[in-house]
A and B are shown apart, each in its own frame.
Chain A
Amino acid sequence: MSNAIIPLLLDSLASAALIFFAAVGLTLVFSVLRVLNVAHGSLYSIGGYVAASLCLFIASRQLNPYLSFAALLFSAVFVAAIFGPLIERSLVRWTYGKSEAVQILITFGLFLMLEDLQRMIFGVQSFYEDAPMRLLGTLTIGGVVYLNYQILLIGMALLVVISLRLLVNHTRLGRLITAVVTDREMAQSIGIDTNRIFILAFSLGVFLAALGGALATPTSGIAPGLGADTMVLAFAVAAIGGLGQIEGAAVASLIVGVARVLAIYLVPSLDAVAPYAAMLVVLLIRPYGLFGSMTARRI
């Protein structure tokens, strides 16, 4: 029993970790900008495409394969630096203070455009480059074989939770962000440059999504449609945890991961239903999510 369920659990926790990167970015952007970015999943897949292209380039030039780890990180930074400020300044800023319908539709329009741009630049074939996963090898404990890369993914997710919490609670930037989240107008009136905070927070969200996509390429590859699939899963995780809750997103991705394992174990045909069913149940009982609340500060 344990020989079968532990690898399965590791597998689904690793994929939950990838969704967590996208979900925590979504939740961060929502709490600071109060905009639900429907194009967030596309930024995840763009991160994946850039990372896969770089890794394939490294492999084709027979450079040191360990460079591909740097390539994964670099592609996330690259995507965040290009798309973060660009999208926030051109489109998202226009929607501040407008109704949710307008915000969702503007970012949905952006989602459609980004999906086509990806097809035009990277084509429709799927990308697969598993050099980083092969380099790390496997680990055998008690007769069970683990992929070290999956353990790395889970570790990275934990690292992101801790760093974000440290950033929010113990740095100057974090305090500024908290001030903007708590009361936007008051923060502005005491001299905080809210526009700068919005750009930074949005770019950080883009970075986390692109990092998730980049880290996903060695395990699952990347293909058209990934952005749309990731978007709705990230949405489910962020909603279960409560929009705006960093730790909530982490716990929710755990819940979704475990729910999938249980589904695979009990009713294998329904594994894809598990995340959405969990989202539906949680939202019906607590529409503001497990960790959210109607009034308390959200970050």
Chain B
Amino acid sequence: MRTIVAASAVLILAVLPVAAPWLQFVLTLAIAKGFAALGVAVLLRAGLISIGHAMFFAASAYGVAFLARAGINDLGLLLILSVLAAALLGAIAGLFLVRYRAIFFAMLNLAVSMVFYALCAKLYSVTGGTDGMTVPVPAVFGVVLGEPTFKSVLFYISLALMLLVGLAIQRYLNSPLGHALAAVHSNEIRLEYLGIPVWAVLLVAYVVSAALAGLGGAIAGFAIGRVVPDFAFWTASGHLVLIAVLGGIGGVPGAFIGALFLELLHSVAVTVTDAWNLIVGLTLIVVIMFLPQGFYGLFSRKEASSL
């Protein structure tokens, strides 16, 4: 039953841009943010809130821009290398950060990401400062495409990646390593007594979440065609947490449901009012107060995890 629901949802997503071409950009961006929010959701399962994951999102988009400048011009290679770069950055940051909990974890992630943001904004000669860097249109499997065609290809590749990566993350979360995350949340000391190294569990989760945010950032960079330091600003990190919580952290679809909901709501809302943040802020507060399991909690019959 759930497979049928998921399959039809993906089919609808795949057909939507044919019916309404303007939706293609919106949906690509939604999937990109969904990846990043999924990364945040992985850490939220362990009770760790990161207000700094936009750093990995931005780092990977900058990675694409730098690699393209260095002459690499293949979509697949660019995606893989930039995600690896984000994962490496995640491993380095994670080595220091997974020792901390609660408010200290949140603050340190914020500090790291703001150092990154300030560097991107200030190192004008390297990163182009607040003007950012352009992300050129790459070749896809050796085929050079025009921009409109590339954007369509990018959308369907993102959709396919959403399925593949989503399934992989689902398996990870259902593995003992994934279940250990929830155990860290409920009782960390007991986990240590069972002989499971908590820091290793969290480091793996941190690297996975950084790679997910990086994948989202690379897709967003290609879709927008430009990367600016604001990708890494703390409010962007806040938005990623917001998406994860709106959708619900109980399962992989949650993050994507949250991102789709938010991007579609955005497209509708901007035609009516410019008080967009007011609507989002209010939605967030209402969801946290009355739907602690997020929108995904409405669909899932199992007891989904909440904050």
Query: Which residues in chain B, 109-126, are within 8 Å of chain A measured between CB atoms?
Result: 110-112, 114-115, 118-119, 121-124
CB of B307 within 8 A of CB of A101, answer: yes
Q: Encode A263-299 as 1/0 by CB contact (under 8 A) with B.
A: 0000001111100110110011001100000000000
Specify which chain A residues have a CB less than 8 angstroms from the CB of B122 in the assembled complex. 269-273
Q: Chain B interface: which of A2-10, A114-122, A156-164?
A: A114-122
Nearest chain B residue, comparing its CB with the CB of A236: B111
Give the Cβ gap from A111 to chain B, nearest Cβ, in Å: 7
The interface of chain B, by Cβ under 8 A from chain A, is 44, 47, 49, 51, 96, 100, 102-104, 106-108, 110-112, 114-115, 118-119, 121-124, 233-235, 238, 241-242, 245, 274-278, 280-285, 288-289, 307
Task: Tell whether A105 pairs with B281 under 8 Å between CB atoms, given A232-B234, A236-B111.
Answer: no
Q: Does A109 contact B (CB under 8 A)?
A: yes
The interface of chain A, by Cβ under 8 A from chain B, is 36, 38, 91, 94, 99-102, 104-106, 108-113, 115-117, 119-120, 228, 231-232, 235-236, 239, 243, 269-273, 276-277, 279-280, 283-284, 287-288
Nearest chain A residue, comparing its CB with the CB of B280: A112
- Option from A99, A231, A235, A272 in Cβ contact (under 8 Å) with B47: A99
Q: A38-B238, A110-B281, A283-B108 are in contact. List 9 more A-B contacts (CB 8 A).
A: A36-B106, A112-B278, A115-B277, A116-B275, A117-B278, A119-B274, A232-B110, A235-B107, A279-B111
CB of B242 within 8 A of CB of A113, answer: no
- Which of B44, B96, B238 has the most C-beta atoms of chain A within 10 angstroms of its own C-beta? B238
Specify which chain B residues have a CB less than 8 angstroms from the CB of A94 in the assembled complex. 289
The distance in angstroms between the C-alpha atoms of A187 and B115, with both chains bound, is 41
Specify which chain A residues have a CB less than 8 angstroms from the CB of B104 in the assembled complex. 283, 287-288
Specify which chain B residues have a CB less than 8 angstroms from the CB of A276 in the assembled complex. 111, 114-115, 118
Specify which chain A residues have a CB less than 8 angstroms from the CB of B284 in the assembled complex. 105-106, 108-109, 112
CB of B307 within 8 A of CB of A280, answer: no
Specify which chain B residues have a CB less than 8 angstroms from the CB of A273 in the assembled complex. 115, 118-119, 122
- Option from A110, A232, A269, A280 in Cβ contact (under 8 Å) with B124: A269
Nearest chain B residue, comparing its CB with the CB of A115: B277
- Which of B44, B119, B123 has the most C-beta atoms of chain A within 10 angstroms of its own C-beta? B119
CB of A105 within 8 A of CB of B115, answer: no
CB of B281 within 8 A of CB of A284, answer: no
CB of A272 within 8 A of CB of B118, answer: yes
